[in-house]
């Protein structure tokens, strides 16, 4: 992230401007499948997060800043410093599955709410990248900003494969390769458990290994 954007992020007027641009940014990200955004022009790292609503089960998509962390993506529910939490934060707490769109790929993830030393570590890195977070934290009042780690679900599969290898298996049952990342084929077509019947976040195409969106007919 550029030094200029980092410094502007500390000012109140720039925060208001970013909030106004957020809707346009989501449209850019959706149109380009996470490849292009207004924020990226200033060095910000953004992704699209899709998570089912905790009451309706209907997938909702929002654009947000992220911070790379240990082969995963960290996000913080700043809500631009408002006292109220954003809806997506409560939805992530309620749902064990979500999806991100980034660099042309739709990636199924498992959100994890961080605490303790792990949260502190991510928080330090986030502050170094986007100092305005400290301002959002102060303006948000009594609520503690939630820090989530969005982990690609194949990390769990990779751990399982390593365990299989230790016990004599090859750990490569039906694996696909997408940009150098091993993705287990047995996970294709699995849907988030909290989605409403008739809704889906997407499915993996077993031929090209990218995510396709759609609704069951």
**Residues spanned by the domain of 120:** 3-152
What would the pLDDT profile of 77-106 be if each residue is shown by its tens digit? 998 788 999 999 999 999 889 999 887 788
The 8-class DSSP code of residue 42 comes to: G
Residues 53 and 67 in one domain: yes
Average pLDDT over residues 106-111: 92
- pLDDT band (50, 70, 90) for residue 39: low
**CB 67, CB 149: distance < 8 Å:** no
Is the per-residue pLDDT at 189 higher than 70?
no
- Residue 116 domain-assigned (yes or no): yes
Residues 6 or more apart from 124 whose CB is under 8 A from it? none
User: Which domain-ending residue is among 152, 179, 199?
Assistant: 152
State the CATH number of the domain containing residue 124.
2.30.110.10
Residues 158 and 177 in one domain: yes
Q: What is the pLDDT of residue 104?
A: 78
Distance CA 36, CA 26 (A): 10
Write the Ramachandran bin of 126: left for phi over 0, alpha for psi from -120 to 50, otherwise beta: alpha
Distance CA 215, CA 217 (A): 6
Q: What is the pLDDT of residue 182?
A: 40
Q: Which residues pair with 64 in a beta bridge?
A: 47
Residues 130 and 161 in one domain: no
Average pLDDT over residues 11-31: 59
Q: What is the pLDDT of residue 200?
A: 47
- Residue 217 domain-assigned (yes or no): no
**CB 97, CB 110: distance < 8 Å:** yes
- Both tokens of 82, joined, read 């408002």
Residues 132 and 173 in one domain: no
- Both tokens of 6, joined, read 């980092």
- Residue 21 domain-assigned (yes or no): yes
Residues 197 and 147 in one domain: no
User: Which domain-ending residue is among 100, 119, 152?
Assistant: 152
Residues 96 and 172 in one domain: no
Residues 106 and 161 in one domain: no
- Residue 135 domain-assigned (yes or no): yes
- Residue 199 domain-assigned (yes or no): yes
Residues 94 and 104 in one domain: yes
Residues 128 and 181 in one domain: no
């Amino acid at each position: 992230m550029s030094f200029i954007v980092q410094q502007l992020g500390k000012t109140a007027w720039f925060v208001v401007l970013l909030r106004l641009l957020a809707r346009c940014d989501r449209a850019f990200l959706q149109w380009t499948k996470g490849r292009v955004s207004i924020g990226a022009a200033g060095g910000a790292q953004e992704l699209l997060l899709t998570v089912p609503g905790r009451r309706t089960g209907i997938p909702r998509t929002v654009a947000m800043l992220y911070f790379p962390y240990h082969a995963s993506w960290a996000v913080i529910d700043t809500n631009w410093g408002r006292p109220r939490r954003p809806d997506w934060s409560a939805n992530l707490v309620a749902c064990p599955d979500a999806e991100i769109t980034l660099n042309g790929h739709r990636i199924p993830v498992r959100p994890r709410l961080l605490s303790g030393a792990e949260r502190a570590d991510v928080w330090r890195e986030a502050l170094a990248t986007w100092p305005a977070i400290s301002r959002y934290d102060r303006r948000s009042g009594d609520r503690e900003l939630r820090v989530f780690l969005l982990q690609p679900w194949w990390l769990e599969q990779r751990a399982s494969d390593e365990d299989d290898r230790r016990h004599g298996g090859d750990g490569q049952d039906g694996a696909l390769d997408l940009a150098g990342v091993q993705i287990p084929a047995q996970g294709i077509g699995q849907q988030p458990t909290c989605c409403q019947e008739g809704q889906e976040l997407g499915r993996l195409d077993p031929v090209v290994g990218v995510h396709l969106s759609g609704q069951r007919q």
